[in-house]
Structure 1
């Protein structure tokens, strides 16, 4: 008969949804949320009902009833420090996601929506490879200031999925290779996957700037700036109004590349600087594995750009062969993970 899986992946400006029957993708939709629509909500958690109703509407329009699903799985937001893999969504997780997550992020809504859809039908609901998946070593947590520890906030879901795929293409196991994976999207994170564990990383607030995030900023200047603006304004400058939009007034990489093609040298400088910073982040992580890197992987939506990936390859391919996995394999990774759990091939952890 097959197992039907509903996979949900909320992002900053869209909610991606897919229906799988076992490993077959039956339906995939990207529900866009306009800036005007999102501006009505003061906090990200306020968007919950709007996104929930959009998913219900999409399922109804495509003649999928909730009672056919064997599981509902969502991208796990930065809820708490977690191990990789599946966690069963419970009331405690929903409470934490809505009221006290590690970071206020759209992916937090995934677990809440999955739970609210699943509970009335008595369907198991899971998150998988959460943003706050943490396998960092003790030495990697040291920041340089005793009051602040480095945290693991990374695109774990897509990274681990493409890491396993890359290892498979090499006829090796993910647990037997060293990979450095850069996820290029609205936010950019880079992680070293050392024999199947993400032992260190460059998070989106300590490395390259991205279309809407400022990345690593000189510390003394940042401290001084904090006295000119209130907390909310400063946070928006770092996340939402930083990066490309700060310099060029847009988060659209397609728009930036169009400007470059039309001879805009300033746009080219800023865009190449983003690739330059990604390259530095990749090379920074080679020290973790003492230069023993089997592959460098560039993934995420921006990896569709031949311009960006060529700039990065020029600077890093001396380290190891570079492979491009454009786009995001997150919905597939979610569905496959949930399928393994309900078939008994993998155990879901309980959130406490």
Structure 2
């Protein structure tokens, strides 16, 4: 079995896979949260939901309790049944592939804390905890940044003093790479075309959102940058703004740069702009009621995404296999997909309204026959991608 872990500073999201004939099958998933506060664990197994109020003072105690419940539910006989643990790591710096976590890799993840202070520390704590609890098990790191390391210098460098890049790694890294890799490989299998011949524009639209431009199966550009704050308007993140706004608002609100950056990360985007919610579903509900500001929010969001789609279509010189929507909003909001497509008429895209509103389990083709290229909604599966990468390094 392979356990996939996505750890935060006070939470551990996990999914357990059984491997049958070299095919991973998800059998259990769950979330331990409020670690270090009071502790709460929920597990879904065999269609049943199990909940536990349990004090978990740290990640070690959380992992011990999670593994104990695996045994109680008879998912495993003991922890030796877990052959490897795969971790989602947001920032891997210059690491370009999934890797076995050794001392050198651990230090690299540690060095990237300054680049991803909200994400990497939680991963490091979880890795340390698993080392203690399961010292003989292979630990594998899959990085959100690695898929985008194929961007060229012209794309990933900023127009700032070049010394900033040489000394401080100031460059575009890009994120959501595990999702993009999954979607690229998934689509290749769907249309039976080699990954290396695929040109795609992929819109990963969730609470965090980005767009990636994939040429010959490799990322050549993406909207997120040095941090996940850049690019699109998101759930609570501003996306791209004039950087002088930060200095201006420091003076206007009598706050420091760190406080303003926190507002841009946690109080902006859909939440701050709409003054309704960070959840697109709630904004669309207000749109349907005729709320003009909700309409403005939806329009601004849709235009923002559409502008990047057109930009990336230019990068691909119009030679595009498909436009793909994924993640929470992209997978589920027919309204958002429609609004975005309505704003990229220059590309000759034609939406099939009846198909666009259908429910689906895996993927859905939403373009008409006369669309210049195909449009799909495809459900991403980052945990499965991490599991597959873990299998590749442990088999």
Partner of residue 374, structure 2: 321
Residues 94 and 112, structure 1, Cα contact 8 Å, conserved in 2? no
- 1:299-322 Cα offsets, whole Å, 9 max, x none, are 111121121122122234636322
1:211 aligns with 2:208: no
TM-score of the aligned structures, taking structure 2 as reference length: 0.75
TM-score of the aligned structures, taking structure 1 as reference length: 0.83
1:252 aligns with 2:249: no
Partner of residue 94, structure 2: 81
**Match for residue 281 of structure 1 among 292, 303, 308:** 308
CA distance in 1, matches of 2:8, 2:286: 26
Residues 59 and 125, structure 2, Cα contact 8 Å, conserved in 1? no
Partner of residue 105, structure 1: 118
Gaps of 5+ in 2: 40-55, 165-169, 350-372
CA distance in 1, matches of 2:93, 2:292: 43
CA distance in 2, matches of 1:241, 1:124: 39
Change (3 A) 1:172 1:11: farther
CA distance in 2, matches of 1:318, 1:287: 13
CA distance in 2, matches of 1:280, 1:310: 15
**Match for residue 62 of structure 1 among 70, 86, 89:** 70
Residues 238 and 268, structure 2, Cα contact 8 Å, conserved in 1? yes
Residues 77 and 107, structure 1, Cα contact 8 Å, conserved in 2? yes
Partner of residue 208, structure 2: 187
CA distance in 1, matches of 2:32, 2:335: 28
Q: CA deviation at 1:13?
A: 9.0
CA distance in 2, matches of 1:278, 1:12: 31
Residues 158 and 172, structure 2, Cα contact 8 Å, conserved in 1? no
- 1:68-123 Cα offsets, whole Å, 9 max, x none, are 11110011221322213x11112344345456422213255235414531454311
Q: CA deviation at 1:329?
A: 0.5
Gaps of 5+ in 1: 39-47, 344-352
Change (3 A) 1:239 1:261: same
**Match for residue 306 of structure 1 among 334, 351, 367:** 334
Helix, strand or coil for the counterpart of 2:272? helix
CA distance in 2, matches of 1:87, 1:12: 22
Partner of residue 117, structure 1: 130
Partner of residue 341, structure 1: 393
Partner of residue 145, structure 1: 160
CA distance in 1, matches of 2:383, 2:11: 13
Question: Residues 15-30 of structure 1 correspond to what in structure 2 (within 5 A)?
Answer: 15-22=12-19, 23-30=24-31
**Match for residue 91 of structure 1 among 103, 108, 112:** 103
CA distance in 1, matches of 2:285, 2:223: 29
Change (3 A) 1:272 1:11: farther
Partner of residue 184, structure 2: 163
Query: Which of the two has higher C-alpha Rg?
Result: 2
- How many pairs were matched up? 328
CA distance in 1, matches of 2:58, 2:317: 48
Helix, strand or coil for the counterpart of 2:66? helix
Residues 276 and 312, structure 1, Cα contact 8 Å, conserved in 2? yes
Residues 91 and 112, structure 2, Cα contact 8 Å, conserved in 1? no
**Match for residue 294 of structure 1 among 317, 321, 341:** 321
Farther off after superposition, 279-288 or 111-120:
111-120
Partner of residue 229, structure 1: 255
Residues 8 and 17, structure 1, Cα contact 8 Å, conserved in 2? yes
Farther off after superposition, 224-233 or 154-163:
224-233
Q: CA deviation at 1:27?
A: 0.6
CA distance in 1, matches of 2:2, 2:117: 27
CA distance in 2, matches of 1:130, 1:112: 18
